[in-house]
Structure 1
Amino acid sequence: MTIDEIRKILPTLPESPGCYKYIGQEGTVIYVGKAKNLRRRVSSYFQREVQGAKTRLLVRQIRGIEYVVVGSEAEALILENALIKEHKPRYNILLKDDKTYPEVVIHHEPFPRVRVERRPARDGSVHFGPYPNVGMAHAAVAMVRDLYPIRTCDLDLSPHKIALGKYKVCLEYHMKRCKAPCVGYQSREDYDHSIREITSLLRGNLRDVIELYRSEMLRLSEELRFEEAQIYKERLQYLENYQVKHTVAPHHIHNVDVFSFEEDEDGATYVNYMHITQGMVSQVYTLEYRSQLEGESREELFASAITELRRRFGSRAKELILPLDPGWQDDANVTITIPQRGDKKKLLELSERNVRQYKVDKYKRAERLNPDQRLMQVVGDLRQRLGLERSPMHIECFDNSNIQGSDPVAACVVFKRGRPSKKDYRKFNIRTVEGPDDYASMREIVTRRYRRMQESEEALPDLILADGGKGQVGAIREALGELGLSIPVAGLVKDERHRTSSLLYGEDFLREIPVRHHSPTFHLLEQIQAEVHRFAITFHRDKRSKSQLSSRLDFIKGIGPKTKDELLSTFRSVQSVSSASLEELTTAIGPAKARIVYQAFHAEEETEPTA
């Protein structure tokens, strides 16, 4: 994909929080970033005047964009860190070399310490996080230390060091915050038991601790120990925020595949795949999958897509998180989970959000990159619905406009290859019809339109639309029959909200052919209807306005077009002419004509009243 093609699809990106990945020439990820608004953030890279040599160099290397939609900016931050660690993109210099996010680490050592670290060593220690901010990480460690008396010192507590007897108890022991394993007061078994409970707690079992903190805060408040209660309140807020925002699953959700799917009306199925490693999303991919077997159910198709994606990515996950049971039985050792709540449900919702976004963006991108292709599909769908012999590449639509028969007009709009052809639009003044007779008016303008096209040997339309019902369709067919023409005619049927709801069509008898709302065909018909209505109403309004402004001057005997123009040029309106004095009119058009105009507007005033 070229830079120009990327710029065309930028308006199709979602305005949602998420992470984006820039793909280089060899298909590798060269940059990962997060955004509160994906469209705005990604578009900023492709402005004509991009600041910074590094950014300009990065943009020149981009050949594709992938993204993952999440629920909040905090979730995007966590996912970004996981994707950077997974892909190690070459252009993420700042994040890769300078900045990372805090983790809680249980060190791999005798009598393990529990600490907050940004760059923990990969030495067998147990890691929790990353945390969206350092305050949440420290709150988790503070919670652990409040509940369990564990050491905070940097002493080497290997057995032979303790046996030397060189260590002494510290203040933490006297404050009952440590049981002094350094001098042998606490056994290794007892300490390890505490560590196992701490590990379980950090893996997400927060509910009991939150309730404990809440009760402790209330107890201290009742005892008027407000400063101590405030400490528990702050820790409680951190933990509650962590519990709500930590969408990336706890670490114990490891080596798990998440699948979701979405269908469209064209028979395609979109399947999203996410692989979870230690609570982190390490792979995300969406596949458009079409059935190879006739009559294959959606469950069978979903199962086939799962098998293909697992094979493609070499997944050996022992658990699948799915929205339904598709009857997948490729591996009896794999557990299928259909979650109803909790962290696994959140992971499934994240997958479903991404597959829906992929489906929407596919249509938007296709329209941006190749708009004619989408329009040809719409025209083809219209042909199929009406059973036409050929695709309606040339469509004309008629509409009448009048108010109780006054100033009757009509309009014709033309669409070619699904697009308005405004140079071919036509306006019609009704010449032969007296009063408000829409059907007779329609017969007149259709006859005039296509007789003229026959005489000039212009290409006739493939389909004619009437902005009306059976009467309008019948009037058009009668006019065409008199001209010896056979052109398909359909009516645009409106619902109670005056929106196009169906097509009225049939060779022998007319029947309604429904059109699904918000489908591409619906939008085309809606556009045609709105365009012909706008064009007819505008023409009628202009004609009525001119008629109202000039009617009284037109019917004054002895006043011609030239004099009328002089009056309107001088007085600006008929109203001003009617209120002008004889002297003012004489100055503008001379005494003889001034007297005629003055008498025409003041005849009643100059008539003597009868006795």
Structure 2
Amino acid sequence: MLNPSFDAYAFLKNLTSRPGVYRMLDAEGKVLYVGKARNLKRRLSSYFRKTGLATKTHRLVSQIFDIEITVTHTENEALILENNLIKALQPRYNVLLRDDKSYPYIFLSADDFPRLGFHRGAKRTPGQYFGPYPSVGAMRQTLRLLQEVFPVRQCEDSFYRNRSRPCLQYQIKRCTAPCVGLIDKERYHQDVQHAVMFLEGRDQQVIDELVARMEEASQQLAFEQAAYYRDRIASLRRIQERQYISGKEVDIDVLGATVKGSTACVEVFFIRGGRNLGNKTFLPKFQGNLTPRELLSAFIPQYYLNREIPPTLVLSHQPEDMELLTEVLSEQAGRKIMLLRPTRGSKIRWVKMALTNAEINLNRCLVKKTSIVERFKSLQQLLGWTNLPQRLECFDISHTRGEATVASCVVFDREGPNSTDYRRFNIEGVTPGDDYAALRQALTRRYRRLKKGEGILPDLLVIDGGKGQLAQAVTVLREIGIEETTVLGIAKGPERKAGQETLLLAGRDTPVIVAPDSPALHLLQHIRDEAHRFAITSHRKRRIKGHKISPLETIPGLGPKRRQRLLTQLGGLREVARAGVEELARVPGISPGLAQRIYDSFHG
């Protein structure tokens, strides 16, 4: 049904037939949808025909109050502009790609004794860049492997230039100490060259060279040196087994797309030099129905425009505008970019791998969504509400003996934690240790902003605490003039065990009785624990920043002897931060529980 406030006939009558971009606006001037067209008049006329429209299009058309257009010279320009507008405006009816962060690279500096390190962002510093890697974890794992096999320094220049004796990395044979001249430039550059060959996918060539040197050392009866080369070869063989995909040195991205109902997933595998660098999962937002072909048509320009593109994209489905995408991506890259939907050969296996991962991650997402919705329905029943809650907020306070007090605010919607809306508040001007005053300050700052229209008010405000904290929250909302938000306190039971919590609802004299296995209680526990985690993480960051202390000193149960043992066994704070739980637990004196706390302190 057409919106009576918009005269579609008059609008179409004088519309140009040139290529361009159109923006559909609602009554408040907010953009509902951004689209491109080779012929604007023909494309927009298709929205207002009397029959043959999808349900999603009917809903969209009924909300149109105006349409703005931008004419472009070519359809290619329209595609690029459409992509930029979708990213900037985030329209409700477009397929939205939420994750647009730049990917990490391994960087090799151009110094006399180059360093290998992490890089993200513009490539302004002279040197070589290897990647991109799908995550910081994948990149750091590769750096760790490199350091074990090729002892090229990874320390910052400020540390490197001020050494008077070798650091722990030298003691554990993960660096050759160029900082104090314990290795000459020629030998150091041999390790650098091998590391570069490995990163470029030429690890078999590296192995061949090491084999030749091992045999030469054996013939000269230098058995210790031969054993050194043997261990390197064995390490490289193990890495090959984990990472190698194909004997061909190729750079490609493999994209698998799948859609179930209102949920979609795109899985991207990054193949560089024939080696699988890992994969990344994307869960775009969209309205209405969508096919995998349409999903890839929307995903590819949003993700690859203004980004480094490999020579080949291998796709699980053929996008509807494949020729246009090929032309635009090639034009941007300044070289030929191929988009392939394989029907045979090894690339079929890669596509199947991507599709399998996409389906698994999509199913996990659907299970999570179903669980969250069931918990929201249970909460609705518990509170006796007519409508399903849309948005929950929870606050918690964290400090160490009143020092560096931080309040956290976490937000849940019907898809679970909404981390982009999380907020933290550095508390100032209150008596140290006064949690009531800290909570009052955080709530006042938060809800004054929301009252002014700077955000969305929650249906339910959850406070981690008992009657005192609940009273503070009720008072603050009353002073600000917020009446539509219900306040609930969740107080820990006498033994502070999960399932024994007491629920206190504002305006009700007696506690709310709820079973330990109630989905509503599980939802409240989840948001309470998330607020607690976020508060502690924020507090630690503030305390470390204020005192310049080691992050290890903030971990309960980790005393000076254990800290020293950790640093010695793992080779410094950087290696402790990189280590996994199992690796930490191997250090004498570190229990699995303590290892988990150490890992959590570095990884949130």
Q: TM-score, normalised by structure 2?
A: 0.29
Scaled by the length of structure 1, the TM-score of the pair is: 0.29
